[in-house]
Amino acid sequence: MSWRNGVVYQIYPRSFQDSNEDGVGDLAGITARLDHLTWLGVDALWVSPFYPSPLADFGYDVSDYVDVDPMFGSMPDFDRLVAAAHERGLKVLLDLVACHTSIQHAWFRDHPEWYIWSQGERPPNNWTSAFGGAAWSRFQDDKWYLHSFYPEQPDLDWRNPDVVAAMQEVVRFWVARGADGFRLDAIDRLAKDPELRDDPLSDEPFGLPLLDHERGRDLRYSRNAEWIGEALAAIRDAAGDALLIGEVYLPAAKHARYLEHLDRSFVFELILSPWEPGNLRAAIAAGATGEGRSGPGAAWALSNHDFGRFPTRFGRANERAAALMLMTLPGTATLYQGDEIGQGMGPGGDPPYDRVGRDMFRHPMQWDGTPRAGFSSAEPWLPLTDPAERNVAAQREDPDSLLWFWRELIALRRDLAPGFRMLESDPGVISYERGDNVVAVNAGDAPAVVPPGEIVLATSADLSQSRKLRPGDGVLLTR
C-alpha cells in the first residue's frame, strides 16, 4: 500500500516534546521522539506550524514562511528532523497557511495590495470571522481589511498574481528542503467572491454542524468561490508530486473541485460526529466516495488540535471500536498525537481553555507517569491531563493496552486491499466491506450478531466465542 493511503501522525509542536527546558515543545524534541512513531508503524508525520509567529493563533499566524520560530528551534533543527525522519522511512508533511498571514508579516507593510481591502464607513458586507464577529477590521480611518479568522490574520488576495508567485516560492522552498507534502490550512477560504457580496441569510444549514454564529447563513460568497481551482492548480504546480491534503471545511459532497488538484481532503463529518450510528454511517458514506489525485480522496481524523479529542467525545467504552473504524477507512488516516494512548480532554474542561476553548485539545503528550509526563523538565506551557493514568511508557509495558491495539491496527492497514462499499446492517451497526475484509462496529445500544467471516481482529477477546457484538464492540473479519 502506498504511504499516501497509510497513516499520518499529527504533531502539535508546542505539546509534543520539549528539548530545551522551557516548557514548550520544539523540533529537536520531535526528532528525539521519532522512534515512537516508527514503533507505532505510521507512514508520515504532519507538523503543525513552527514558523516565526507572534502566536495570536499559536502559529497559524505566520510572520515568515521560510524560517523556524526560535521558540521551536532553528533551520538546522528542521534539517535534522527531516533527515532523521527520512532515515526511518517516515515522510514529512508541513502545514501551509496560505489563506492569511500574520498582521506582522512584512508583506502586510510592504505589499498592502496583496491583501483584501474595502473603503468606507462600514464593512462592505456581512461576512463573519470563524472565531466570531465581523470578518473586517478597521485599518486607519476608513479602510477595512478582511480576516477570515482573528484580526491578527489578514487574508491574502489570491487574485493577485504576486501573491500566488510568493506562495509558490514558499512551497518550492520546503519541497527543496525535504518536505514530502503539505496540509493546506483553511483552503476553502482561499477563494472568495471578488464582488464581496453578502452571504445570503438562509434557514438551510450550510451542510456541516458549523459554529453557532455561522448558522442561518448560506456562506456561498465568503469562501469556496468558483475560481478556487486556479489557486489550487498554482499550488499543485509548485508542489509537484508532494502529497496535498486540504483542510476543506465543507461537506465532503462539495470537495470534488478541490480533489481535482489535491490528493486528499479532510472529512469533517467524521470529526464532528457524535458516537451515534446514523451520523457515523452518513459521515463515512459521504467521505468514502471522493477520488483525489492519487487515490481515494478522503483524509480521516478522529481528533485534531481544533476539535474535541475522540475518547472524551465518543466515550471510553467506544475507544477501540473507533480506532478500528478509522484504520480501516479508505484514503489517508490521521492520528493526532495522544490518540494512540487515549488522551482525553480532561475532567470538566480542566485545564483551562484559551479564548476559543481549544486548549483542551492541546495538552502536552504524556510519555510517562512522572508529574511532567516526560514532556519537559520545566513547567509545561499547559497543564497535563492525567499522566498517571495514561502514558506511553506504561502502555508499552502492557500488550493489552490501547497503544498496542493501535499498533496492531496500523500494521493490519498495510495489508488491506483497495475497495470500499457500505453494507446493510442492523440499525445500530456500521458495517462496510474493505477489500477482502468486512468491518462491523456497534455504535448502537443493543447487542448485534457478528457478521459471518473469520475474525482477524476484535475489540474484545471473547467476541470470537460469543460472536455477539455488544455496544462499543468492533470487529474486522475476512470476507
Q: What φ, ψ does residue 381 adopt, rounded to 5°?
A: -60, -25
Q: Which residue, 43 or 61, is less far from ligand NOJ as judged by CB?
A: 61
Which residue's beta carbon is nearest to the bound ligand NOJ? 60
Reading the block at residue 153, the C-alpha cell is 490574520
# chain residues binding ligand NOJ, by CB under 6 A: 9
User: Can you tell me the distance from the alpha carbon of 166 to that of 62, in angstroms, rounded to the nearest whole number?
Assistant: 14
Q: What is the largest CA-CA distance in the chain?
A: 74
269 contributes a contact to ligand NOJ by CB under 6 A: no
Three-class secondary structure of residue 388 per DSSP: coil
User: Which amino acid does the sequence have at 432?
Assistant: Y
Contact 432, 420 (CB under 8 A): yes
CA distance 234 to 229: 9
Q: Is 46 in the site for ligand NOJ (CB under 6 A)?
A: no
Chain centroid, CA 464 distance in Å: 34
Q: Is 155 helix (H, G, I), strand (E, B) or coil?
A: strand
Residues 84-103 that bind ligand NOJ (CB under 6 A): 97
Residue 65's Cβ-count burial label (10 Å; 0-12, 13-18, 19+) is: buried
Say whether residue 50 binds ligand NOJ (CB under 6 A): no
- Shortest distance in whole angstroms from residue 248 CB to ligand NOJ: 11
Residue 268 touches ligand NOJ, criterion: CB under 6 A:
no
- Chain-centroid distance of CA 33 in Å reads 20
Nearer to ligand NOJ, 71 or 438 (CB): 71
Cis peptide preceding 351, ω within 30 of 0: yes
DSSP for 78-128, written as a single string:
HHHHHHHHHHTT-EEEEEE--SB--TTSHHHHH-GGGB-EEESSS-SS--B
Q: Does 392 bind ligand NOJ (CB under 6 A)?
A: no
Strands 298-301 and 332-336: parallel
Measured between alpha carbons, how far is residue 106 from residues 54, 111, 206, 311, 327 in Å?
13, 8, 35, 42, 42
Residue 359 engages ligand NOJ in binding (rule: CB under 6 A): no
Query: Which DSSP string do the residues of 280-299 spell out, in sequence order?
Result: HHHHHHHHTT-EETTEE-EE
Site for ligand NOJ in 215-254 (CB under 6 A): 247
The single residue of 43, 152, 247, 340 carrying the catalytic annotation is 247
Binding characters for ligand NOJ, 304-333, by CB under 6 A (x = yes): -xx---------------------------
Q: In terms of CB distance, is 57 or 263 closer to ligand NOJ?
A: 57
Q: Choose between 10 and 31: whose C-beta lies nearer to ligand NOJ.
A: 10
Nearest distance from residue 135's CB to ligand NOJ, in Å? 12
**Are 45 and 81 contacting, i.e. CB atoms less than 8 angstroms apart?**
no
When asked if residue 116 is in the footprint of ligand NOJ (CB under 6 A), the reply is: no
Q: Is 218 a catalytic residue?
A: no
Q: Is 260 in the site for ligand NOJ (CB under 6 A)?
A: no
Does position 182 bind ligand NOJ by CB under 6 A?
Answer: no
Taking the complex as a whole, the smallest distance from the CB of residue 12 to ligand NOJ amounts, in Å, to 9
Query: Counting contacts by CB under 6 A, is residue 185 touching ligand NOJ?
Result: yes
Q: Does 60 bind ligand NOJ (CB under 6 A)?
A: yes
Q: Using CB under 6 A, which residues numbered 132 to 151 contact ligand NOJ?
A: 149
The answer to whether 64 is a known catalytic residue is: no
Nearest distance from C-beta of residue 60 to ligand NOJ, angstroms: 3
Task: Report in angstroms how near the CB of residue 185 gets to ligand NOJ at its nearest.
Answer: 5
122: Cβ–Cβ under 8 A, 6 or more apart, which residues?
A: none
Query: Is 57 among the residues that bind ligand NOJ (CB under 6 A)?
Result: yes
Whichever of 57 and 180 has its CB closer to ligand NOJ, that residue is 57
180, 185, 188, 263: the active-site residue: 185
Q: Is 155 in the site for ligand NOJ (CB under 6 A)?
A: no
Catalytic residue annotation: 185, 247
Residues in touch with ligand NOJ (CB under 6 A): 57, 60, 97, 149, 185-186, 247, 305-306
